[in-house]
Structure 1
Amino acid sequence: SMGGQRGQEDAAAVEGGEEMVERCKKFFQEDCLFQAVRLEREIAEKHPEVHSKYEEFMQQVKVASDEAEGFCKDLQGDDGWSHVYGSKEDDIRVWYKPEPDSPIHALRVAATIDAPLEYLLVMVNEITLFPSWLPFISDSELLAKPSKCERVCWWKVKSPLPAIFSHRDSCVYGRAIDGLDEDGCVLLLIRSLDEMQGVDFPEVKPKTIRIDIKYAAVKLIPINNNKTKVVAAGSVDPKIHKLPSWLINWVATKVCYMGVILWGRNARRVAEGKKDCPHRQRMREDAEFYAWMSARVHSFNERNGHC
């Protein structure tokens, strides 16, 4: 009968919807957020009843995706940005944007780095080793690892003039999103965090002020096996009444510009692996994670004919 056939079709559709939910959950757990959200939209369209059954999870995907999109809007567009450093297309370029009538300051950096994507990610993942290669960071701690690609950490930035200007520190939540299959990039999202269940946050030390990182996004796009395009933007309340221009300049040149140079230089050094180093040691200690990460990058490079 027609009714029976329709019943079977409905059941098959629900089953198809359930299968999509399973795939969506897997993407979300594997930090393939872009794929998860595209699937979430498809489920909403084709299987609204299945979508509402998993309302809570679908909401989680949407919230994460909206946050990622919001964080990324400053990676493009030139509205209100003034160019402060670097001239040529292949140079490291830095832009600055003050938010009118607000303590917030935004910076953006774009560069092509001669280093393999996976080793740039190693440098970023090993938070406690930051002081060993970033001269402006005096201390850093990993506070929690909520999931494979999420980190909660603390770091302290040394003041260039401690006599008149306190050191700055911040507690941040960071998340990596694997968008290689969909968008050919890895995205890092960072924001300040001051509480999380079960996590002990360090107290603010004397002569130090805790800043508020409203958001920061770093997009890494592998061009080939040894070259990576990086675009980063962030918005920070440095907790200072008026930011002197020398300080903006210091951040643009010593933190943004030098930071990118050192990131590339050290990633290359670790990649060449001529001698053992703390980063290589960590890669051995966390072999499972790094094998997974490396496989993701390599399969992308192979599919795209990178060499």
Structure 2
Amino acid sequence: MRIDTDKCVACGNCTYVCPMGAIYIDPAIKRATVNRDECVECYACYNGLSQEHLNPTMVRMMRKVFQMMRLRFDPEPDVCPTAAFAPEDLTWPRVVRRAFSDPRVPHESTGVEGRGTEEVKTNDVSGRVNVGEVGFTIEFGRPGVGVWMREIQEMSAELARAGVAFEKKNPITSLMSDVSTGTIRPDILNEKVLSAILEIKVPVERTEEIIRLVWDVEKRLQTVVALGVGTRCDPDGEDRTVAPILERLGYKLERAKTNMGLGRITNHAPAVPQAPAVRQGQPVAPREGVTR
């Protein structure tokens, strides 16, 4: 995102809506300026503020007049009064930033908006995690922090050395030049995004090993890492395998959310006997113990 300095009147409204704090008022030119390194192309500024089309010269003049009268003339806080934003036609590799940061943009590799993955929320249909397996979602970044692709690679490389299986229907996996080593394409390593998710799975018995590995790597990263663990429940809806491992590692478990299988029936109910069809005018045989 760029800001047209000819239109900007330095009202400062855009500085408050940027989730990365990448917009600031440059005191040298008295205009809003975008820090290109920190901007993740989420378009929150462009989409979050109403675009009015006031004449910039008129606005600046009115502000000076009001200032002389010790009064203030400021636009509403949710408005860019002069429509000063100048969206760019993003090219590779910068377009990667928007793909992971603008929740309205679908990923080319998966067709899913936002971080580009449904995770294990549709596992009843997708079958990503099977019985005896544990799926991990490793989420990087948050508003105000973000994450560099090179930081994600630091984690993916360690996981690859541990022999995990990367989820194929995941945009980070699709951007790897070598999945066997967890190597991400070198031309995007210096791109920063708002947030991204890495997905892997391992046999249940490796659960603690992988969690401890993630703990070790995240200490070296300058971002926020959130770890999600998913597994299939028992036929009665409980988990008696992974839950004890997590509790032993210090996690307090609560049943907060259960993803229901909405795509197909996985637990078939016993068939209900159907009454025999009766044609019109056909006598019905009496049931045992019933008199007519």
> Greater share of strand residues, 1 or 2?
1
Structure 1 length-normalised TM = 0.31
Bigger-Rg structure (1/2): 2
When normalised by structure 2's length, the TM-score is: 0.32
